[in-house]
Structure 1
Amino acid sequence: MKVTVPATSANLGPGFDALGLALGIKNQVVIKPSKFHSVSLRGEGANNPILKDNNMFIAIFNDFYNNLSTKKRFFRFEFVNEIPLSRGLGSSSAVIVSAIASAYAIEGIQLSKEKLLNLALAYESHPDNITPAVMGGFTVATVQDNEVQFIRKDITKSLSPVVVIPNRPISTQLSRKTLPYKYSKEDAIFNLSHASLLTAAFMSENWDMLRIASQDRFHQYYRMKQMPELFEVQKISLGNGALMSTLSGSGSTLFSIAHKQDAKKLETKLREKFPHFKVFTTTFDNTGVKIEY
């Protein structure tokens, strides 16, 4: 059995803890029957022995599998990770979603994506990453009475994401501590209006509106101050064809969207300016979590 979950970019500027979308970078786990428990790991994190020994996937998988099954079985878990760790691309959400989906699938129990999303909420309290990881596409989500309420939309293939991944992380927990304790009414209205406009732009496919709509006063400036080069990455992106350019999640990745014909030129410019960062063009994912037998 193979379970695949896409990377995600959350917040998208002003949509703090609410907006997100799924990318064509994916984590994959293949699960096979085995005589004993074993784990193999390739790709991102493969050189980190702690990940293999203290695997969050295994812990969450066992939580569910032990509740769902009366059988004592062993499995071999083969992980192939494309999503970088601690770079604001939803690596934790991908692990949570794939672990829960795997436990149900192994037992042959039908699990709707809506139920999967709400089970994942117990491990990830904000819905901005887990929703696109499960559903794919562009998503707007909130939590009401301990359930995720969301609306999603496919993203057109005429757009391409361009991703700049710095050579060091920004801690989500630490970056949240840098945020103001209070915001002014003006800043709250600014973000509310821009998040609303950004949502409307995605839903109506008014791509010319993305540049204005993606402006933020809640979190980006405070987080990007921890890695000042990101301001220059953003400036160069917006000056070379990016329709929008925002911090991905809490960083350190900077995420841009360009028309497909402009994406490679933007990627080349960013590679020239930031040779010590990882820069590439990818795709959007409109599928979300995928299970194959």
Structure 2
Amino acid sequence: MQFKIPATSANLGPGFDTLGLALGLYNKITIKPAKIQSIHVEGEGTKNTKIRVDNAFVKIFNEQLRRLKIEKQNFKFTFENSIPISRGLGSSSAVIVGAISAAFKIAKKAINKEEILNIALYYESHPDNITPALVGGFNVCMLMHRQVRFINKKLPNTIKAVIAIPQQSISTHHSRQTLPKRYSQKDAIFNISHSTYLASAFFEERWDLLREASMDRFHQFYRMKQVPILFDLQKTALNNGALMSTLSGSGSTFFNLCYSDDADRLHAVLENKFKNIKILTLPFDNNGVSFEEF
């Protein structure tokens, strides 16, 4: 059985811990019964021995099988990873929701997305990455009584993402420590109004509104200071066809949304100017976790 889990971009400017979407960039995991458990890794993380020795996917997968009262079994796990690690593209959320979903399928338990999300909260307390990884599309998320609530919007093929991935990683935990402990009422109102406006623009497909709607006063400036070239990258993107340009999660990746017809030009401009930053043009994913049985 093979599972495919998309990368995600969260926050999207003012939607701190509440807004996220899924990208057409995937980690693929093949799981087959075996006499002895084995782990093979290709792509991102190949040189990371921890992924083979203390694999988070396998650990969560086995924990969930035990919770579902499935007897211990051995499997061969083959990971084909395309989602960069610690770059703000939801690599940890892909591991979490992928492992839980895989346990459900192996246990022959129906995939209940609400249940999986709420289990995922045990491993990841912020719903803006785990939700799009599981269900795809654009999502407005919140927590209520330790339960994930979300509203989903499928995204059209008339828009694309052009993402910029610096070589430098940013730890989510460390970057949160750089943020202010308190915000002014003025800044709070600014972000509430802009995140609401941004969500409305997505649901109405008013892409022309995204540039103003995606402005933020809560986190981007403080995090971008850790990789100063991101300020120039954002300005360049907005001047060359990006409808919005925001830090992806806690960074260091930058997410740019543009019309599909403008994607090649924006890609070329960023690639030519920022030689040490990897540029990818991606469709949006509307499916979330998917699987194929052999």
TM-score (norm 1): 0.99
What are the equivalent positions in structure 2 for 1:49-128 lying under 5 Å apart? 49-128=49-128
Give the Cα–Cα distance (whole angstroms) in 2 for the partners of residues 100 and 36 of structure 1: 21
Shift of 1:67: 2.6
Give 1:208-223 correspondences, 5 Å limit: 208-223=208-223
How far 1:69 sits from its partner (Å)?
3.7
In structure 1, the partner of 2:234 is 234
1:135 aligns with 2:142: no
Structure-2 change in CA distance of 1:239 and 1:185 (3 Å): same
Q: Which moved more, 1:21-30 or 1:47-56?
A: 47-56
Q: Which residue does 1:23 correspond to in 2?
A: 23
- What SS does the aligned partner of 2:243 have? strand
SS in 2 for 1:242: coil
Measure how far apart 1:70 and its partner are. Answer: 4.2
Q: Unmatched 5+ residue regions in structure 1? A: none
Question: How many correspondences in the alignment?
Answer: 293
Q: Distance in 2 between matches of 1:69 and 1:42?
A: 31
Shift of 1:161: 0.1
Q: Give the residue type in structure 2 aligned to 1:5.
A: I
Which residue of 2 is the match for residue 13 of structure 1? 13
Q: Is the 8 A contact 2:22 2:137 kept in 1?
A: yes
Q: Which deviations, in whole Å up to 9, do the C-alpha atoms of 1:122-162 show, x marking residues without a partner?
A: 11101000010111000000000111011000011000100
TM-score by length of 2: 0.98
Q: State the one-letter code of the partner of 1:81.
A: N
Gaps of at least 5 residues in structure 2 are none
Within 2, Cα distance between the matches of 1:71 and 1:112? 22
Structure 1 ranges of 4+ moved more than 4 A: none
For residues 224 and 52 of structure 2, what CA distance do their matches in structure 1 show?
Answer: 31
Indicate the SS of the match to 1:192.
Answer: helix
- Secondary structure of 1:257 counterpart: strand
Q: Once the two structures are aligned, what percentage of the paired residues are identical? A: 54
For 2:241 and 2:70, how far apart are their aligned partners in 1?
56
The residue identity in structure 1 corresponding to 2:98 is: S
Aligned-partner SS, 1:17: coil
CA distance in 2, matches of 1:60, 1:230: 34
Q: Secondary structure at the match of 2:168?
A: coil
Query: How big is the shift at 1:65?
Result: 1.0
- Equivalent residue of 1:32, what SS? strand
Asked if the contact 2:39–2:52 (Cα under 8 Å) also holds between the matched residues in 1, the reply is: yes
Residue 202 (structure 2) pairs with residue 202 (structure 1): yes
Q: Deviations over 1:11-69 (max 9, x none)?
A: 00000000000000011100001010000000111111121111111111111112324
Give, in whole Å, the separation in 2 of the partners of 1:269 and 1:71: 54
Pairwise CA distance, 1:275? 0.8
> What is the RMSD of the two structures over their aligned residues, measured on CA atoms?
0.8
- Which residue of the partner structure matches residue 268 of structure 1? 268
